[in-house]
A and B are shown apart, each in its own frame.
Chain A
Amino acid sequence: MMSLTFDLLLGVALLWSAWHTLATADLIRAVVSFIVFGLLMVLAWARLDAPDIALAEAAIGAGLTGALLLDSVGRLKARRRPGDNG
Chain B
Amino acid sequence: MDPVAPNGNELLLALLAMGLPLLSFFLVFFVTRPWVNLSCAVSLVCSGLPLSAAVWLLAGHWRMEAPILWQLTWMEGGGALVTFGFLLDPLSLLMLVIVTAVSFLVQVYSLGYMAGDPGKAKYYAFLSLFAWSMISLVLASGLMQLYIFWELVGLSSYLLIGFWHHKFSASQAGKKAFVMTRLGDLGFFLGIIVLLLNLGDLSILGLNQQAAARLTPGLLTASALLIFCGVVGKSAQFPLLTWLPDAMEGPTPVSALLHSATMVAAGVYLVSRLFPFYQGSPQALGWVLVIGTVTMLLSSTMAMVAEDIKQVWAYSTVSQLGFMLMGLGAGGYFAGVYHLATHAAFKALLFLCSGVFIHQYATNDFFAMARAGARGLKVPMLTLTLAGAALSGVWPLAGFFSKETVLAALAELPNPAWLWLGILGAGLTAYYTFRLLFVMWRPRRLEPPPEHGERAGHGAHEGHGAAVYWVMAAPLLVLAALTVLLGAAGPALQSFLAWGRPLPAGAHHTWLVWASVLVVATGAGLAWLEFGRAGAAQQGFLSRMPGLWNLFANRWYLDWLYRWLLDHVVYGLFSRLFTLNDRRVVDGGIDGFCRATLGAGWLFSLLQSGLLQYNLFTMVLVMALVGLYFLLV
A and B are partners in one complex rather than unrelated chains: no
